[in-house]
Amino acid sequence: MRSNDRSSGAAPGAEDVAEAAGVSPSTVSRCFASPHQVRPETRARVLAAAERLGYRPSRIARSLAEGRTRTLGLIVPDIANPFFAVIVKAVQARARRKDYAVFLADTDEHPDDEYELALTLARQVDGLLLVAPRMDGARLGEVVRQVPSVAVNRSVSGVPSVVAPSEDGLRQAVAHLHALGHRHLALILGARNSWSSEQRGHAVRYAAEQLELKVTEFGPHEPKFHTGAQVADLALAAGATAIVAHNDLMALGVLSRLAERGVRVPDDVSVVGADDTLLATTATPALTSVRIPLDALGERAVDLMLRRLDDPSRVPEELLLDSELIVRRSTGPAPRKES
Amino acid sequence: MRSNDRSSGAAPGAEDVAEAAGVSPSTVSRCFASPHQVRPETRARVLAAAERLGYRPSRIARSLAEGRTRTLGLIVPDIANPFFAVIVKAVQARARRKDYAVFLADTDEHPDDEYELALTLARQVDGLLLVAPRMDGARLGEVVRQVPSVAVNRSVSGVPSVVAPSEDGLRQAVAHLHALGHRHLALILGARNSWSSEQRGHAVRYAAEQLELKVTEFGPHEPKFHTGAQVADLALAAGATAIVAHNDLMALGVLSRLAERGVRVPDDVSVVGADDTLLATTATPALTSVRIPLDALGERAVDLMLRRLDDPSRVPEELLLDSELIVRRSTGPAPRKES
DNA sequence: TTGAAAGCGTTACCAC
DNA sequence: GTGGTAACGCTTTCAA
């Protein structure tokens, strides 16, 4: 019972195909690796035999021999979060088109797991895509040294990254609200140490300042539905006529609480979300939101990675994508002052 | 420049560790594979050296040698769909806990890709988790023959599967509506060839019949937000006081359209969704929905797979999980008849 | 308890 | 253009 026992259910190897086609295993290998290096006639014979036997080269063995796995590692904080899910989907699709497989790791928002996972994956993938890495600089450096990495949605000096700053979109949002007559807006911040929350906070503050809009800030808060709901009352009490939330989820919390209180959106209060996830489109009323080109983020991350892989001399670069405001029904003219 | 050049940036191998610890590579291997087979003292020395060098056994090489990859393949129709995302998350977490990695493949709802991907993955994973397989029986059979597989959320004869029938929950939903005084409900079906849509349709029809409730059916329809919105008007015209949608997304479409028309939920009409995704909780009003224990689905699928893997003699089995109705604010007493 | 050596299924280099 | 052969980095008998 040797390996070239074609009658058994075991997967056929290159050797089996070689025998069936009357060539050497080397030739079989070449037929798949560099088809043009083998005479068309021979190739046809080999391919036929392979087809007949249902032969597929073992990626494992190939990886070991080639020294590369044709696999990308993807580390995400939370796949169940629609924001990340879209990125994952894009990465996955892009990678597959390039004949790369994807190892998925969900850290469930635990930065420690992130590091540990990165190290584990480092050995078995050609490159690592770190989505919104929470890792501290030192550890990130350690990881980056071990395996080609690309940071997604978080710019880290010295690490190639692809980022879609929400600034553009938020600036547009503030301008939008200003144009609608709003003069006082509430800003709901995200998580305490979140890089993106800080970026977003800055963007709104700055834009508001330019337009001489008053801003009342709330947070930092865990970016959850219920915190949004909680803050809604505070924002109202503060007298804001428009509420800009850190993300769609929080904005939905706001929407929900306002509805409960009978406050009309957008007649009484306007609400803006961010990320433009599925949640924004399916909300009632549909949520005006800052769209981050998530699919592009994922695709470009893969492209950047692959480009680096076949020319490692390339310098780390940072890729910026534009965000934009998508106006929907949750924003409208500011209510007239009831003086 | 040989492989045991520890000064270079290359990842250290077992040989390097062996040298550093003054033992043979075999012993190093054993320290990781079967630690108890090596004298504690030696093991300590080896582990220390490994630690110092930052050594991690190559999973690739190990896979080749062991003949198994400690990797599970996971094929999903659409990760961006919250329903599947939760399953993916659960699978991923469970697998990792068992020291398995996960290859993720998103078919983007294309059944052909599903087959092709399954065949590709077959060679590089120990087992395949097929979520809601759309594959026809013949192809599925082919796949199952090549690699141990488990079907998730779709029962297929001859294939081990873990399924959470929505029947229980839907029966509860119908009973719930009946108890609230509703006597005419609209049922919105999902996609044409969807197994789950059929199951759900049957369940509702049957339960309604038992309770002598009138049911008006709409669809089959692509399970999208906008189709839900579209059907809302029809359901209203038909005179239904309660609407049961194939899933949350469609239910949200309904909610949205009703709000536009000024129809109050639940005062004028009650709405029930299914899947109890993030969407249901964050809707306004929060959506009464049938909860499928998605995380359990994922976990059990992994467990089932692993159990099969270390005892292949086990017969294919089908695992059933219970669904249940989660009552939220979108359902209420039927409006009084305005006769 | 430990070491030596033979694979695992490819690829890649070097002759022919 | 094709075949032999040595890796790739581990696990695993089999001896010692």
Name the domain boundary from B30, B50, B66: B66
Q: What is the pLDDT, as a whole number, of residue A9?
A: 59
Confidence of residue B9 (pLDDT cuts 50, 70, 90): low
Is the Cα dihedral B8, B11, B15, B21 positive or negative? positive
Shared-domain flag, residues B252 and B309:
no
Strand partners, A186: A216, A243
How many residues are given for chain B?
339
Shared-domain flag, residues A272 and A314:
no
Least CB–CB distance from A89: residue in B80, B93, B120: B80
Flag whether A9 is in a domain: no
Shared-domain flag, residues B105 and B150:
yes
Flag whether B336 is in a domain: no
Shared-domain flag, residues A125 and A192:
no
Contact B80/A96, CB-based, under 8 Å? no
Shared-domain flag, residues B195 and B281:
yes
Would you tell me the crossing angle of helices B82-97 and B294-310 to the nearest 10 degrees? 40
- A255 CB neighbours in chain B (<8 A) are 284
Check if A209 contacts B (Cβ < 8 Å).
no
| Cα A195 to Cα A174: distance, rounded to the nearest angstrom | 20
Confidence of residue B338 (pLDDT cuts 50, 70, 90): low
| Cα B275 to Cα B324: distance, rounded to the nearest angstrom | 10
Asked if strand D contacts A67 at the CB level, meaning under 7 A, the answer is: yes
Residue A10 CA to nucleotide C1 C1', Å?
A: 36
Apex B221 CA angle, B271 and B282, nearest 5: 40
- A146 CB neighbours in chain B (<8 A) are 11
Range of the domain at B219: 167-293
Element spanning A76, H or E: strand A71-76
Q: First vs last Cα of chain A: how many Å apart? A: 93
- A61 CB neighbours in chain B (<8 A) are 64
Q: What is the pLDDT, as a whole number, of residue A94?
A: 96
Q: What is the pLDDT, as a whole number, of residue A339?
A: 46
Flag whether B306 is in a domain: yes
Flag whether A92 is in a domain: yes
Shared-domain flag, residues A215 and A189:
yes
How many residues are given for chain A?
339
Q: What is the pLDDT of residues A25-40, one digit of tens each?
A: 999 999 998 889 999 9
- Kindly report the nearest CA distance between residue B103 and chain A, in angstroms: 5
* B80 closest CA partner among A103, A322, A277, A274: A277
Percent of chain B past pLDDT 90, that is, above it, reads 82
**Residue B206 CB coordination number (10 Å):** 14
Check if A145 contacts B (Cβ < 8 Å).
yes
Interface test with A, best of B60, B98, B142 (most A CBs within 10 A): B60
Phi–psi pair at B204, nearest 5 degrees: -65, -45
- Kindly report the nearest CA distance between residue B22 and chain A, in angstroms: 24
Q: With 60 as the cut, is the pLDDT of residue B5 above it? A: no
Residues 6+ apart with CB under 8 A from A120: B56
- Average pLDDT of span B64-80: 95
Shared-domain flag, residues B181 and B289:
yes
Contact B56/A86, CB-based, under 8 Å? no
Mean confidence (pLDDT) of chain B: 92
Shared-domain flag, residues B238 and B99:
no
Residues 6+ apart with CB under 8 A from A50: A17, A21, A28, A31
Shared-domain flag, residues B249 and B187:
yes
Shared-domain flag, residues B157 and B75:
yes
Name the domain boundary from B293, B312, B328: B293
| Cα B142 to Cα B167: distance, rounded to the nearest angstrom | 30
Q: What is the pLDDT, as a whole number, of residue B168?
A: 94
In total, the C-beta contacts within 8 angstroms joining chain A to chain B are: 142
Domain count across chain B: 3
* A315 closest CA partner among A304, A325, A329: A304
Helix/strand/coil for B213: coil
Check if A125 contacts B (Cβ < 8 Å).
no
Flag whether B325 is in a domain: no
CATH code for the domain of B40: 1.10.260.40
| The two three-digit tokens of residue A330, written as one number | 């949750």
Q: What is the pLDDT of residues B216-226, one digit of tens each?
A: 999 899 999 99
Least CB–CB distance from A103: residue in B103, B252, B285: B103
Contact B123/A279, CB-based, under 8 Å? no
Helix/strand/coil for A21: helix
The answer to whether the beta carbons of residues A64 and B64 sit under 8 Å apart is: yes
**pLDDT top residue among A303 and B10:** A303
CATH code for the domain of A148: 3.40.50.2300
Shared-domain flag, residues A261 and A247:
yes
Q: With 50 as the cut, is the pLDDT of residue B7 above it? A: no
Shared-domain flag, residues A264 and A300:
no
| Cα B216 to Cα B234: distance, rounded to the nearest angstrom | 10
What parts of chain A have a pLDDT lower than 50? 1-8, 339
Query: Which positions on chain D have an atom < 7 Å from some protein CB?
Result: 1-5, 7-13
Flag whether A305 is in a domain: yes
| Cα B64 to Cα B70: distance, rounded to the nearest angstrom | 11
Flag whether A327 is in a domain: no
Q: What is the pLDDT of residues A223-281, one digit of tens each?
A: 999 999 999 999 999 999 999 999 999 999 999 999 999 999 999 999 999 999 999 99
Flag whether B62 is in a domain: yes
Q: What is the pLDDT, as a whole number, of residue A132?
A: 87
Q: What is the pLDDT of residues B179-203, one digit of tens each?
A: 999 999 999 999 988 888 999 999 9
Contact A278/B279, CB-based, under 8 Å? yes
Return residues 272-291 of B near A (CB < 8 Å): 278-279, 281-286
